[in-house]
A and B are shown apart, each in its own frame.
Chain A
Amino acid sequence: MKKIALTKCLALGAAALTVSAAHAEVKIGFTGPLSGPVAAVGQDQYDGFMLGIEMLGKKLGGEPVTVLREDDQLKPELGNQIARKLIDRDKVDAIVGLGFSNVLMASLPRIVESGTVAIATNAGPSPLAGAGCLPHVFSMSWQNDGTAEAMGKYAQDKGYKKVYLMAPNYQAGKDYVAGFKRYFKGQIADEVYTQVNQPDYSAEIAQLQSAGADAVFVFYPGGMGVNFVKQYSQAGLMKKLPLLSAFTVDGTTISSLRDAAVGTVSGAMWDVALKTPGNAEFIANFSKKYGRIPSHYAAVGFDTAKLLDIAVSKVKGKTADKDAFAAAVKAAGSELKSIRGPFRFNSNNMPVQNYYAFQTIKDGNDITVKLLGNPLPDHQDAYVAQCKAK
């Protein structure tokens, strides 16, 4: 009997573990995942944003600025509460960050009701890009399909005949595979969906070796990507079977992968190899201040600070008129000198931008990236036609 009671207790324990956290002129609320397995992603957005504000003399549009920082823990319900708190209690002028797609979508109800300007720095889900687009909600980062579409186009241009696709088994995983297939017209060797947060891919890696593909495309964000790339490289496949990826090898994971990542091709709208105006200065300042190389998450945060700077000066600090402020943000998008190259907001408030292909290389003892090409210049997403907002 005692053992059975203990067993019940174990089940309870397992359940507990799965749950496993002066008024200025301009007030900005930042939310993002700042704890848990993807904390590095949220931290980079925040650090990039704060660096941008610091380089603008701690002012936006000439007005002193206060930033309130909130951790959504990658929990949609918490994201929703934070949006309510920032809008109702703190009365912020704009919300920046908004985390992953699921958290962003859950935060929207109060944002829509209040008409507060919201700038997502890590998500551009398809509903928000299509029929559900909103005049005062922007994505400063990407429409979710963009990087996968760029890799699909890259594979097509490269002349690969047969590609093997892998992603975690959830909505974003399926979206990325669909995005890849939108631009890749060759044969799909197989499409494999793995458990979310699966630690070991040895079974899948053995499987893909027998598929006879020319290349492999994966979408494995965060720790999943570190696991997959380490294991792919240890299986000796990096030289035999080109690895194309989206959100798998980036500034937050490359320092833990080092040599294991060499050879990986990644789709992204920014990386350290870009020679755009201001990029070298951003990278130098970021590395100096935080002691690490910035990722594209940090680059988006940095661009967002500059975007708000332009928008606040456009309305001369009068951010209380929310419609005018949203219009100013939209117009600021076209004026922004983004470190990623050409940038503007589309009619659905998603970015129109280049999606590049980068490759991780070894340069002496350093692991860095080089620019392979620009498969999708000035790219707009596939959903913009469904958006009725102007």
Chain B
Amino acid sequence: MSATLLLAQVLNGLQYGVMLFLLAAGLTLVFGIMSFVNLAHGSLYMLGAYAAAVVGVQTGSFALSVLAALATGAVVGMALEWLAVSRLYRRDHLDHVLATFGLVLFFNEVVRMIWGPQPVFVSLPESLSGTVDLLGFTYPTYRFLIIAVGLLVAAGSQWLIHKTRVGMLIRAGSVNPQMVSALGVNIRLLNAMLFALGSALAALAGAMAGPILSVQSGMGEPVLITTLVVIVIGGIGSVHGALYAGMIVGLVDTLGRTFLPMLIREFASREVANAAGPALASMLIYLLMAVILALRPQGLFPAHKA
């Protein structure tokens, strides 16, 4: 067990954490402010990955492919809000779940009809596909880019929410939407913009994940479940909560996967460790969520005091 290995694993945890943050940021705002349960968030992640894959192969430019994903996310998000979601705000949460679960099936099938069941190819420019030498370990350059983009978005969203007028309205809207609307603010437009922004961030996460993951129909669902865990731990509606919780979940999951089997080997046989280690490691983040729900049901970093 060397320090460089630990460093590599912490980087891996951070990188996973910022990916989760990109997904959780938009979703937690929609949950917190509009009180809307959006299971189709993972579909926007998938669409972002496909948009980036298609544009990346056509143009060969990574920057263009990321821009295409952002645009796709924003446009599809806006259209979704206008066509479906805005009609559902007043309905029960169970209706939200049903309707957006239907959207998940719809998007998965659309993608399968257009691109087929095989995963699609994602290109990565030569300059990003190299590795960095970390004292004997090679670490992919591209993963540093993911961390940088995630931290940039985190800083940007903090600025947006705490330093701008739109951010002030968002914060006000999350506490008392009726009052904000009575003061003459078009809360519907604000909601639509927020939804589109969240969707664009999900699509950005998809575009960033494309070069390291298999881009295929249904890729958004497993990651959405982890995102829901992040939101619950961070506190619903809290963007900084999503950032911290994303990091916590990313680190707990990565370090748990690495070190738990090693730990079990210290006092049990190799066979037991091989069987129990991965099973326990995959449960860790859910255990963490259960403990936090029991002790602090409002999450670790709630958006505002209830």
Give chain A's interface residues, CB within 8 Å of chain B.
2-7, 9-14, 16-18, 20-21, 35-37, 39-40, 43, 169, 191-195, 197, 199-200, 202-204, 206-207, 209-210, 222-227, 230-231, 234-237, 252-253, 255-258, 292
Contacts and interface: CB of A to CB of B under 8 A. Distances in A.
Given A7-B297, A223-B214, A206 B137 contact: yes
B211 interface: yes
B157 interface: no
Given A16-B39, A35-B112, A210 B5 contact: yes
A356 B164 CA distance: 64
B232 A7 contact: yes
Contacts of A40: 116-119
Given A13-B228, A36-B218, A255-B118, A169 B137 contact: no
Given A3-B306, A17-B39, A200-B16, A226 B119 contact: yes
A252 B116 CA distance: 11
Given A227-B214, A253-B119, A207 B5 contact: yes
B146 to A, nearest CB: 10
Contact of B257 (A39, A203, A253): A203
A16 B214 contact: no
A18 B225 contact: yes
Nearest to A41: B117
A37 B277 CA distance: 26
A195 B283 CA distance: 10
A176 to B, nearest CB: 14
A5 B236 contact: no
B37 A195 contact: no
B120 A256 contact: yes
B159 interface: no
Given A226-B214, A236-B131, A256-B120, 4 more contacts: A4-B297, A9-B97, A39-B217, A235-B138
Interface stretch (B7-15, B80-88, B187-195, B200-208): B7-15
B269 interface: no
22 contacts: A4-B297, A9-B94, A14-B224, A17-B221, A17-B224, A43-B117, A193-B277, A194-B278, A195-B278, A202-B15, A203-B255, A204-B257, A206-B139, A209-B138, A210-B2, A223-B219, A226-B119, A227-B213, A234-B212, A235-B138, A253-B214, A256-B122
B295 to A, nearest CB: 13
Interface residues of B, number: 75
B140 interface: yes
A5 B212 contact: no
B106 interface: no
Given A202-B12, A202-B254, A9 B118 contact: no
Nearest to B97: A13
A209 B140 contact: no
Nearest to B298: A3
Contacts of B181: none
B31 interface: yes
Interface in B273-306: 274-275, 277-279, 281-282, 293, 297-298, 306
A357 B26 CA distance: 47
Given A17-B104, A235-B131, A256-B215, A6 B8 contact: no
Contact of B236 (A6, A17, A206): A6
B90 interface: no
Contacts of A195: 257, 278, 281-282
Interface in B5-40: 5, 8-9, 12-13, 15-16, 31, 35, 37, 39
Nearest to A240: B138
Contacts of B100: 13
B120 to A, nearest CB: 6
B70 to A, nearest CB: 22
Contact of B225 (A17, A192, A222): A17
A225 B118 CA distance: 12
B222 interface: yes
A39 B117 contact: yes
Given A16-B97, A223-B219, A292-B118, A200 B212 contact: yes
Given A14-B225, A199-B222, A256-B214, A235 B139 contact: yes
B63 interface: no
B97 A206 contact: no
A81 to B, nearest CB: 20
B162 interface: no
Closest 3 CB pairs of A and B: A226-B214, A39-B117, A223-B214
B214 to A, nearest CB: 3
A194 B281 CA distance: 9
A97 to B, nearest CB: 15
Nearest to B253: A203
Interface in B95-116: 96-97, 100-101, 104-105, 112, 116
B142 interface: yes
Nearest to A196: B282
B129 interface: yes
Nearest to B2: A210
Given A12-B97, A230-B212, A237 B218 contact: no
Nearest to A291: B116
B119 A256 contact: yes
A218 to B, nearest CB: 15
B121 interface: yes
B100 to A, nearest CB: 8
A223 B216 contact: yes
Contacts of B224: 14, 17
Given A3-B306, A253-B119, A256-B214, A203 B297 contact: no
B272 to A, nearest CB: 12
Nearest to A200: B16
A137 B277 CA distance: 37
A193 to B, nearest CB: 5
B231 interface: yes
B118 A10 contact: no
B5 A10 contact: no
Contacts of A194: 257, 278
Contacts of A231: 140, 212
B223 interface: yes
A7 B290 CA distance: 12
A17 B38 CA distance: 12
A16 B102 CA distance: 11
